[in-house]
Structure 1
């Protein structure tokens, strides 16, 4: 049973209002502990390992929305225009940020290897901003990027204006970030972006999908108490249909057709020991059978024994390097 308070010297210090372990703890006094967030790090004029430059930018003031943007050193070569990759970080909608050390290192590597302008979005987090806040933030960021292709003088980010190829706009993310990317794609299938900019491709790495009934090799016992369900209930307590809402169960009964996905090509990455593996395999097959007109890349398996998020925690392992190389080759 979860503790109801923190105790020191037999004295109650703070009462816990809610917790989803091992991710987050919320106290009744309003204090929030994000238990799995890595330390914050500043942007760099030139990362010593990759040569990538980064800086922090404001996307909007209402709601307050910021990002860290990454520019590879290749931008100095012959005025080459670079693809754009709008990235949504992992962290179960409640942990991490573009400014945390793990995410910062990961985007430096991706921007360098893929030779892309990375825009890592600081979408709003739980507990103060339940879903669909992060989904709306992602859509707003996508609109903001696309608006730089319209010649509007209000759009002033020089790295996009001077170096971006708006015909090569990608989105993607890891875990819940890949879930965000999927939901952005569904919206992009029915709504237009400024300048009629299109999403060329999407990279979904170990996406967070779930449902009320176990499938495949998922354990049957205690399924209803799984961390995935606890996260969704915490993230979107008012979601119609609960954990069978199409935003988290896109292949469930009554979900909109995946033929609506608003991009031209799609890469899905899975790992052998990821708890979301079965869902991701079903998602891949559902896209294949949906009648979607885009190009579905061959499913990439990133190691039989690799766990969820391994490439973020140990990006220099051989399996992670192979995976990052495949992701980079997709972002062309």
Structure 2
């Protein structure tokens, strides 16, 4: 079940962040929309980093308009002084993967199209004034939590081989407890129950036609035959792990594999402690969540 829908706010009472809902593209059904967040610091006339954000929810639940995601983006936009664009990508059961990946690429192209200062984008949707007036297109980030971090990785891989509008370059990718899996258990993953694990069941449900099954590179970026991680199309990466997260071993393997790949960027691994994934979204008032949000903000500069 998703958390309740909440409206955008001209000024969030806790953070002072403004938000509004926008349409990115009418070329899909339903149209691709987003909620954009603007911190109070935009009044200082400094250009702000831009974060294209993809929410958690196993590709099945939640949205930019739901309570948990809205509250979290208000806090992150305020702490990091960024413009955040939270994407309403298509969900299961109506839209199995790769629909969410396609929506992510469309959204990234849309953000990039603003860097030319044109008045309209290629798909005839009006440009977003908050991006044009306050966004720094030399500091564009992509990021997300769990399945949203999986989308982020796959966008970075695609951006490494396909040019974005105006040749925009992604500065960084933020992967909070990314949802990766594979056919063979690793680390502390249970051997006998691996085939019947919740992660395996979710992946088979959300991506039923994945070529190569669970070792499709979009599911398992460390699988044999996956695109080289050296081609990741960004300059820096931050991977967040938590001690109670069932994907922790996968995420450490991902971090180590990127380091060994010959990729020219900088990758960091941060252990947020004895928590389950998404804890900073559900319990942002805790000290550990506040510490993590500050760590994310220090990356998004």
With the length of structure 1 as denominator, give the TM-score of the two structures. Answer: 0.88
Matched pairs, number? 294
Quote how far apart the aligned CAs of 1:220 are.
1.3
Per-residue deviation, 1:221: 2.2
Paired position in structure 1 for 2:281: 312
Of residues 49, 52, 65, the one that matches 1:99 is 65
**What's 2:142 paired with?**
171
- In the other structure, the counterpart of 1:302 is 272
Structure-1 separation of matches of 2:77 and 2:152: 18
In structure 2, which of residues 222, 227, 230 is the aligned counterpart of residue 251 of structure 1?
222
Do structure 1's residue 232 and structure 2's residue 199 form an aligned pair?
A: no
Residue 3 of structure 1 is matched in structure 2 by none
What does 1:87-236 align with in structure 2 at a 5 Å threshold?
87-155=53-121, 156-236=127-207
Greater share of strand: 1
The answer on 1:62 being equivalent to 2:45 is no
In structure 2, C-alpha distance between the alignment counterparts of 1:318 and 1:220, rounded to whole Å? 35
The superposition leaves residues 128-159 of structure 1 with CA deviations (integer Å, 9 ceiling, x where unpaired) of 11111100100000000110111222142110
What residue number does 2:124 align with?
A: none
Give the CA deviation at 1:296. 1.2
CA distance in 1 between counterparts of 2:159 and 2:112 reads: 12
What SS class does the counterpart of residue 178 from structure 1 fall into? helix
- Say which SS state the counterpart of residue 264 (structure 1) adopts: strand
- Distance, in Å, in 1 between the alignment partners of 2:96 and 2:116 is 32
Look up the match of 1:31: none
Alignment of 1:253-272 (within 5 A): 253-272=224-243
CA-atom RMSD in angstroms: 0.7
Q: Following the alignment from structure 2 to structure 1, what is the Cα–Cα distance between the partners of residues 246 and 277?
A: 7
Any idea what SS the aligned residue of 2:6 has? coil
Alpha-carbon shift at residue 223 of structure 1 (Å): 0.9
Instruction: Measure, in 2, the Cα distance between the counterparts of 1:233 and 1:158.
Output: 40
In structure 2, distance between residues paired with 1:165 and 1:151: 12
Name the counterpart of 1:47: 12
Aligned with 2:42 (options 41, 66, 75): 75
* TM-score calculated relative to the size of structure 2: 0.96
Cα distance in 1 for residues equivalent to 2:159 and 2:128: 23
Corresponding residue for residue 284 of structure 1: 255
Long gaps (5+) in structure 1: 1-34
Q: Secondary structure at the match of 2:116?
A: coil
- Per-residue deviation, 1:219: 1.1
Could you say what secondary structure the match of 1:39 adopts? coil
Give distance in 2, aligned partners of 1:56 and 1:50: 18
State the structure with bigger RCO (CA 8 A, min sep 6), 1 or 2: 2
Q: Per-residue deviation at 1:96?
A: 0.2
